[in-house]
Amino acid sequence: MQLYENRPKRHLSEQGIAEFVSEFGERFTQNMALREQHGTDESPYPVCPPDAVVFASSTDDVVRAVQLCQRWQVPLIPFGIGSSMEGHILPIEGGVTLDLSRMNQIIAVNAEDATVTVQAGVLRQQLNEEIRHTGLFFPIDPGANASLGGMASTRASGTNAVRYGTMRENVVSLKVVTAEGKVIRTSSRARKSSAGYDLTRLYVGSEGTLGIIVEVTLRVYPVPEAISAAVCNFATLQDAVSSVIDIMQMGIPVARVEFMDDRAVRAVNRHSQLNLRETPLLLFEFHGSTAAVAEHAQQAQEITQSHGGMDFEWAEKAEERSRLWTARHKAYFAGLQMRPGARSVSTDVCVPISRLADCVMQTVTDLEGMPFPFKIVGHVGDGNFHVQMLLDEQSENEWALSEEVNHRLVRRAIQMDGTCTGEHGIGIHKMEFLKEEHGEDALDVMRRIKHALDPANILNPGKIVSWD
């Protein structure tokens, strides 16, 4: 599990420490508790504290931190809230963690153009609270209340992706500090552009390895006239997943369709004090006009019934929907209670919708008989699902078995023309799969981009692609 203990480290020297203290004062710290906090994420890896932590309050702070790390040739790792799943923010080669949480200002709300511009540390729930009065909302909703800079860095998505897309589709422009300490803007706010290379898409999903995102301009959307949510239970997992495939192939415009297996439902019931039927189920949400929502819901229900689905149980009031989706978003934390004190490993693959049932059912077969608890949830409307495995931290056998399951799952997804990660990103945990998915020639292109934009390899080194 400790994959980075023997990696070469580039530590900050005493002279470097003195210069950081001179520049940042109390916003530079070597306090061990803060270092450990910034060397921990939701991945299965042990704590990996940086040499120090710097709290940035402005773009100028980020520029100066980059310049100092260049001067002393030490890594710089951007940090949002630490909710990543694949070891993205672990300083595996030493260096300084740059905490962007104090850069939390909403810079502009352009309601007429349906865009907002925010600093990287703004949280997604904070944004929606502050623009609620405009009648607009930002739909991308990973389970954590993540920072928008971090969401752009990992190309995050969530339950609304089936209708509204991912961060890739919803980032209009970025302000980025390069490895040279220069500040660039990747695009204008125009709805489309053919002007040069698409730098915005280059930095979205780059996980802090090519530049540090300090501002994000995002698309926002009108709050729908009508919203209805429903729960549909099934006797088997196969029936639930097959229903989703038919619904998507029929082109029914659902806003959300989420899957939980019976284990996940039990965990969510206990954690969020719900009384959902403890069988495999789908959570639906429909957006649009009142008439359109009713029509689409009826079409979806007819398909689920053809697969043995029970009648829809509706959650039409805002507070009922909120409770239901809050419980779904907390499914990861509900899973942790399945085995208190265990370490969680959460997988993430995405396959073409036509292969979804095969991929899920074969994964269930792999998991049967494992010595650890697990559950399966998924944003199945776009072919993305997750297995959460709860491991005894002291058991190397359980870790090895979980990795076998993960490896088989990822390779199965790639063989089905899918991807090793639909939303978690690569970090360090999935680097070995990138070659299998893209091939060595494509990896070499990625590596050359990294070498060109970060020749000293100071920006979050050891993530996505190897340096050599």
Give the tokens for residue 92: 């595996």
- Do the Cβ atoms of 212 and 78 come closer than 8 Å? yes
Dihedral pair phi/psi, residue 286, rounded to 5°: -120, 135
End-to-end alpha carbon distance in the chain? 23
Cα–Cα nearest to 144, from 90, 83, 78: 83
Query: What are the E-state strand segments in 179-225?
Result: 183-185, 211-219, 221-222
Residue 3 pLDDT exceeds 80: no
CA dist., res. 170 & res. 200, Å (int): 11
Which residues in the chain are classed under CATH 3.30.70.2190? 226-333
CA distances to 194, 252, 262, 420 from 247, in Å:
35, 6, 21, 24
- Do the Cβ atoms of 204 and 152 come closer than 8 Å? yes
Cα–Cα nearest to 232, from 266, 270, 189, 283: 283
Residue 1 pLDDT exceeds 60: no
Identity (one letter) of the amino acid at 52?
A: A
pLDDT digits (tens, 9 = 90+) for 226-265: 999 999 999 999 999 999 999 999 999 999 999 999 999 9
- Do the Cβ atoms of 186 and 174 come closer than 8 Å? yes
Is CATH 3.40.50.9100 the classification given to domain 226-333?
A: no
Residue tagged 């990294």 (tokens): 450
Q: Is the dihedral of CA 202, 183, 78, 76 positive or negative?
A: positive
Kindly indicate the confidence band of residue 316, based on its pLDDT and cuts at 50, 70 and 90: confident
* Model pLDDT, residue 324: 87
Q: What is the mean pLDDT of residues 99-106?
A: 98
Spatial CB neighbours of 298, under 8 Å, sequence gap ≥ 6: none
Question: Coil, strand, or helix at residue 269?
Answer: helix
* Model pLDDT, residue 26: 97
Angle in degrees, CA 345, 139, 127, rounded to 5: 95
DSSP code string of 78-109: EESSS--SSSTT--BTB-EEEE-TT---EEEE
Which residues in the chain are classed under CATH 3.30.465.10? 106-222
What global pTM score does this model have? Answer: 0.94
Class of the CATH-defined domain 14-102: alpha beta
Q: What is the mean pLDDT of residues 297-319?
A: 93
The percentage of the chain sitting over the pLDDT mark of 90, rounded to a whole number, equals 92
Which residues in the chain are classed under CATH 3.30.43.10? 14-102
Q: What is the mean pLDDT of residues 36-56?
A: 95
Identity (one letter) of the amino acid at 461?
A: P
Q: Is 113 exposed, middle or buried (0-12, 13-18, 19+ CB in 10 A)?
A: middle
Residue 5 pLDDT exceeds 80: no
pLDDT digits (tens, 9 = 90+) for 138-171: 999 987 899 999 999 999 999 999 999 999 999 9
CA dist., res. 158 & res. 278, Å (int): 23
CA dist., res. 202 & res. 188, Å (int): 15
DSSP type of residue 453: H
- Element (H or E) spanning 168, and its range? helix 167-170
* Model pLDDT, residue 329: 86
Q: How many helices (H) and strands (E) does the chain have?
A: 17, 19
- Do the Cβ atoms of 141 and 159 come closer than 8 Å? yes
Question: Coil, strand, or helix at residue 430?
Answer: coil
pLDDT digits (tens, 9 = 90+) for 347-389: 999 999 999 999 999 999 999 999 999 999 999 899 999 999 9
The percentage of the chain sitting over the pLDDT mark of 70, rounded to a whole number, equals 99
Identity (one letter) of the amino acid at 113?
A: D
Kindly indicate the confidence band of residue 12, based on its pLDDT and cuts at 50, 70 and 90: very high
Cα–Cα nearest to 140, from 7, 329, 359: 329
Q: What is the mean pLDDT of residues 62-84?
A: 97
Residue 6 pLDDT exceeds 80: no
CA dist., res. 452 & res. 450, Å (int): 5
Q: Helix axis angle, 237-249 relative to 290-306, nearest 10°? A: 130
**Mean pLDDT, the chain, whole residue set:** 95
Is CATH 3.10.20.600 the classification given to domain 106-222?
A: no
Residue tagged 């292969």 (tokens): 355
* Model pLDDT, residue 4: 63
Residue 64 pLDDT exceeds 80: yes
CA dist., res. 61 & res. 73, Å (int): 18
CA dist., res. 424 & res. 463, Å (int): 13
Cα–Cα nearest to 254, from 422, 381, 168, 385: 381
Residue 2 pLDDT exceeds 60: no
